[in-house]
Amino acid sequence: MQRTLVMIRHAKSSWANPLQSDFERPLNKRGEHEAQEMGNLLKKMGLVPDLLICSKAKRTRQTAKRIADAVSYDKELIQKEEKLYHCISSVFDEVIFEIDDSIQTVFIVAHNPGITEFVNYLSHEFKVMEMPTCGIAAIQFDADEWNQLPLADRKKLFFKQPDRSNVTA
Cβ-Cβ contacts under 8 Å for 97 (sequence gap 6 or more): 146, 147, 149
The DSSP string of 42-105 is HHHTT---SEEEEESSHHHHHHHHHHHHHHT--GGGPEEEGGGTT--HHHHHHHHHTS-TT--E
Question: What's the chain's average pLDDT?
Answer: 95
Q: What is the pLDDT of residue 67?
A: 98
Residues 6+ apart with CB under 8 A from 3: 104, 105, 106, 140, 141, 142, 143, 146, 149
Domains, the chain, ordered by start: 2-10+22-160 (3.40.50.1240)
Tens of pLDDT, residue by residue over 32-72, are 999 999 999 999 999 999 999 999 999 999 999 999 999 99
Q: What does the pLDDT read at residue 16? A: 87
This prediction's pTM: 0.95
- pLDDT at residue number 166: 64
Residues (pLDDT < 50) of the chain are none
Q: In what order do the strands lie in the sheet with 79-81?
A: 79-81, 51-55, 105-110, 2-9, 136-142, 154-160
